[in-house]
Amino acid sequence: MSAQQNGRDEESLNEPLMDSSARQFSLLSNTTSQLALVGVNICPIESLDYEIIENDFFKQDWRSRGKIQIYQYICMKWAFCFLIGLIVSLIGFFNNLAVENIAGKKFVITSNMMLYNRHLSAFMVFTACNLGLTLFASLFTALISPAAAGSGIPEIKAYLNGVDAPDILSPRTLIVKIIGSISAVSSSLMIGKAGPLVHSASCVAALLGQGGSKKYGLTWKWLHFFKNDRDRRDLVTCGTAAGIAVAFRAPVGGVLFALEEMASWWRSALMWRAFFCTAVVAIMLRSFMDLCYSGKCGLFGTGGLIMFNVTNENVVYHLSDVLPVLLLGALGGVLGALYNYILEKVLRLYNFINGKGLVCQISLACSISLFTSCLLFGLPWFVACQPCPDDLSESCPTIGRSGNYKKFQCEPGHYNDLASLIFNTNDDAIRNLFSHSTDSEFHGTTMLLFFVTCFFLSIFSYAIVLPSGLFVPVIVTGASYGRYVGMLIGSNSSLNHGLFAVLGAASFLGGSMRMTVSLCVILLELTNNLLLLPLVMLVLLISKTVADSFNPNIYDIMMKLKGFPYLESHAEPYMRQLNAADVITGPLEYFSGIEKVGNIVDTLKKSGHNGFPVFDEPEESETPVLFGLILRAHLIVLLKKKAFFYTPVSANADVFEQFSSVDFAKGGYGIVDDIQDIEFTEEELKMFVDLHPFTNASPYTVVETMSLAKAHLLFRQVGLRHLLVVPATNDRLPVVGMLTRHDFMPEHILSLHPTLVNRRWKKLRFQLNPFAKFL
C-alpha cells in the first residue's frame, strides 16, 4: 500500500475531489456503480450502452423495417439537427441580449453616479448589484440543480466518452444553466458563458433525443427510433458543436471543437449533421443581429460574443516578427500550465468548503462577489488618467453607454483606461483589447495590472456554485498580456497591439486548453481575418508543446479531479505488461439459458452488475458454451411482466406478441425499475424463464491472454460497456470474467498490482513541479 501511496503523491490528479470514504468505495467496490463529483454533489455513475443489442427482438424489428421507416429515421435525424440549431441560436441570442442589457444598465448607472462625484453611492450600487446577481445565481443553482454548477464541458466530455452521470442533461439543469449563466455573467464575476452554452446546447440535444415521453403524451412512433444511447450520443455531439458556434459565431470552429475535444467516437455522417446544425446557428444569428442593427435590442446593439471585426485591415508581417510570436507562444505555454496548476489547487480548496453544506456554498460565492466588486471598483483609482485623443469617431469620455474611454474619476477631457476595460462586459473588453487602431489608448502599467487581475480573478471565480465558463476569461487574460508584450516590443515589430492581443489570447488558450485546430479556426472566425492564420497556427503549436511538458489540459484535470472514469484514446504503457485476466475481479455471476426465477431475483438483489453471461449446456458437450450476454434492465422487464413457465421449456412464438422491441428500449434518463420494487410469490420464484430471445447473441469477447492495452483499445474504440473474457483452454467455463470501464482505470489496476506503481511509464513531465516555489 505504501507503493500505491507514493504513486498518488507523485501524480495527485488520480485522487478525485471526494472524501476518503467515497474514494475507498470507488476504488475497492469495482462491481457496482462508481462515484464522481457532479456539480457539487457526490453521485453514483454508470456507463452508457453504445453497443447494439442483437437479440431476437432487435433482429425482428430491424428486418421488419421497410423503406418508409428508414426514410422516417433519416428525416428525424436531420429534423432534430435543425431544431437543435434553431433552439440553441435562440438561447445564445437571448443570453447575449440579457447579459449586455443587465450588465450594461449596471455600468451606466454606476458611471452616471461617478460623473456627479457620488463615488460612495456608485460603489454601493455596483457592489449591491453584483452581490444580488451572484446570490440569485448561486441559490438558484444550489437549490434546483447543483449539476448545473461550473462550465459543464468536463461532464459532457465524459458523457460522450460513455459515462452516464445523473442530472447533467435534465430539463431543470437546462433551465438553471440558462438563467443562472445570465445572472452570473452579469454580476461582473470573471467568468464566461461559452461553457454554459455548450452544456445548454447538449441538454437541448439530449431532450430532443429522448425518444418520446409517456408523461407528456409524446408517444409518436417515429420518436421510438431514438430510444438508445447511440443516437442520443450523436445528437449531444451536434449540440456541443452548436454551443461553440453560438458562443463565438464560429460554425466551422464548433464542428472542429466537437471533433477535437469532445467526441470520443466520430464518423463522416456525424460530421455532416454537426456542420448542418452549426450552419443553422450561423444563419439564425445573422437574422437576429439584423434585428438589433435597427436599435431594437437596447444596449445590446452589435455587442455580445458574436463577431469581433477588429482586425479587418490588411495584416502585414515579416520574418522578423516570428521571434516575438515564438516568445508569445512559449510564454503562453508556461502561463497556461501555471494557470491549470493553480486552478487545480483552488478546486480542491473550494470542494472542501462546498462540502460543508449549502450555507458554506452560498457564503463562498458571495465572498468572491464582494472581493471582486471591491477590486474592480478600487483598481482604477491607482492608474493615471489619460487625455482624450483628438481624432476620434466617438465621444470621449464615454457617458451613458458601453464603449471605450470611460471617465470614472477623471476630470473633463480625460479618461481612465483601466476603467474602460473593467466597467464593460467581458465581450466589450475583448473588443477593446483586439482593436487595431488603439495602440496609444492603453498604458503599459494598466495592461499589466489588468492581466494579473484577470488571471487570478478567473481562477477564484470558477467552481463556485453557479454556471461559469473559462473560455472568455482565458481570452481576456491572454489578450491583456499579449497586448502588454506588444507594448514592450514596440517599434521592433510591425504587428500592432491589437494583433498581439489576438496572438496572446491564442497562446493562453493553447497553454491552458491544449486545443490547436479548433482554437485556430475559432479565433479566425472570431476576428474575421484569414491573414492571421500562419501566426495563430505557430503560436498555438508552441504554447501547447511547452504546456504539455508540465501538466494535462484543463478539462482533463477537471475530469480526473471529479472522478469521472474517462477512457483515453491510448493505453498506458504499463498496460502492456498485463493480460486481460490480470485485472478481473470475481466472482463471476452468470445464468443458464433457461433459468429459475428465484435464482435471477437473488442474483440481481445481491449484485450490482449490469450485464450477465448466459450459458447453455448442450448434450454433446461436457462443458457449458457461451450463448450471449443479457442486460440487467432487460431482466427486470422480463420479471416485471412475469413471462414465466412452470417447467424449464423454451419460449415459443407467442413471446413476440407479449413483448416488442420498444419494451427493451432505453429511455432518455436511463431510469429502470428496481428489483426491490417487484413483488413475487413463492410459486413464481419456483418458475422458469427462457432468456434466449432476450440475450445479445453476439457480445464482444477477448481471450484471457490478450494484453490489457489491446483490450483497452477495443473497448474504447467500439464504445463498449461489457467485454467478456474467455479462457484460453476448453476445460473451464466459457467465460472467466468480464471487463468494464472501471477495470481499465489506473486506480483499479494499480490497486491490484501495486508493484507497477514505481515502475509505471509516464508521459513526459518535469518530476519537480516548476510552480511550487511560486505558491
For residue 52, give the nearest of 262, 229, 174 by alpha carbon. Answer: 229
For 346-398, the pLDDT digits (tens) are 999 998 898 888 999 999 999 999 999 999 999 999 888 888 877 666 667 76
pLDDT number for residue 503? 92
Lowest mean pLDDT among 25-39, 170-184, 261-275, 703-717: 25-39
- For the chain, what's the residue count? 775
Backbone angles phi, psi at 243, to 5 degrees: -65, -45
For 529-550, the pLDDT digits (tens) are 777 888 999 999 999 999 999 9
* SS3 state at 591: strand
DSSP string, 663-678: GGPPPTT-----GGG-
The amino acid at 374: C
* SS3 state at 347: helix
Instruction: List, in order, residues 6 or more apart from 697 with CB less than 8 Å away.
Output: 54, 55, 627, 628
Q: Find the DSSP H helices in 563-654.
A: 597-606, 632-641
Instruction: List, in order, residues 6 or more apart from 612 with CB less than 8 Å away.
Output: 589, 590, 591, 603, 629, 630, 632, 635
Question: Could you count the other beta carbons within 10 Å of the beta carbon of residue 86?
Answer: 17
Using an 8 Å Cβ cutoff, are 153 and 555 in contact?
yes
Average pLDDT value for residue range 761-775: 44
* SS3 state at 218: strand
**Residue 14 clears pLDDT 70, i.e. is over it:** no
pLDDT number for residue 367? 96
Using an 8 Å Cβ cutoff, are 328 and 539 in contact?
yes
Q: Percent of the chain having pLDDT more than 70?
A: 86
311's grid cell: 482586425
Instruction: Report the C-alpha dihedral over residues 637, 638, 641, 645, rounded to 10 degrees.
Output: 180
pLDDT number for residue 316? 66
pLDDT number for residue 753? 85
Using an 8 Å Cβ cutoff, are 540 and 507 in contact?
yes
For 651-690, the pLDDT digits (tens) are 877 777 778 777 777 766 656 678 888 888 899 899 999 9
Using an 8 Å Cβ cutoff, are 111 and 354 in contact?
no
Average pLDDT value for residue range 250-259: 94
Radius of gyration of the chain (CA): 29
DSSP string, 375-424: HHHHGGGGS--EEPPSS-SS-SSB-SSSSS-B-TTPPTTEEBHHHHHHTS
Burial (CB count <10 Å: 0-12, 13-18, 19+), residue 283: middle
Burial (CB count <10 Å: 0-12, 13-18, 19+), residue 521: buried
Q: How many whole angstroms separate alpha carbon 389 and alpha carbon 187?
A: 31
Residue pointed to by grid coordinates 461553457: 195
Lowest mean pLDDT among 5-9, 152-156, 424-428, 681-685: 5-9
**Residue 731 clears pLDDT 70, i.e. is over it:** yes
**Residue 306 clears pLDDT 50, i.e. is over it:** no
Beta-ladder partners of 164: 46
Backbone angles phi, psi at 594, to 5 degrees: -115, 110
Q: How many whole angstroms separate alpha carbon 197 and alpha carbon 184?
A: 13
pLDDT number for residue 674? 80
Position 766 confidence tier, pLDDT thresholds 50, 70, 90: very low
For 438-463, the pLDDT digits (tens) are 777 888 889 999 999 999 999 999 98
Give the DSSP H or E segment for 595: strand 594-596
Beta-ladder partners of 163: 47
Residue pointed to by grid coordinates 497553454: 511
Lowest mean pLDDT among 8-17, 264-273, 615-624: 8-17
Q: How many whole angstroms separate alpha carbon 266 and alpha carbon 135?
A: 41
Q: How many whole angstroms separate alpha carbon 325 and alpha carbon 455?
A: 21
Using an 8 Å Cβ cutoff, are 750 and 760 in contact?
yes
Paired sense of beta strands 594-596 and 688-690, if any = antiparallel
pLDDT number for residue 672? 64
Check residue 129 and report its DSSP letter.
Answer: H
602's grid cell: 437473488
Position 303 confidence tier, pLDDT thresholds 50, 70, 90: very low
pLDDT number for residue 533? 86
Beta-ladder partners of 36: 43
Q: Percent of the chain having pLDDT more than 90?
A: 46
pLDDT number for residue 620? 72
Q: How many whole angstroms separate alpha carbon 451 and alpha carbon 457?
A: 10
**Residue 8 clears pLDDT 60, i.e. is over it:** no
Residue pointed to by grid coordinates 428508414: 70
For residue 185, the Cα-to-chain-centroid distance in whole angstroms is 18
For residue 120, the Cα-to-chain-centroid distance in whole angstroms is 41
Helix axis angle, 471-489 relative to 194-208, nearest 10°?
150
Single pTM value for the model? 0.90
| Higher-scoring residue by pLDDT: 101, 665 | 101
Q: How many whole angstroms separate alpha carbon 93 and alpha carbon 104?
A: 16
Instruction: Report the C-alpha dihedral over residues 271, 273, 276, 278, rounded to 10 degrees.
Output: -70
Instruction: Return mean pLDDT, the chain.
Output: 84
The amino acid at 277: C
pLDDT number for residue 215? 60
CB environment 569-602: b (16+ within 10 A), e (fewer)? eebbebbebbbbbebbbeebbbbbbbbbbeebbe
Q: How many whole angstroms separate alpha carbon 726 and alpha carbon 748?
A: 21
For 25-79, the pLDDT digits (tens) are 443 344 445 788 887 788 888 888 888 888 887 777 765 677 888 888 889 999 9
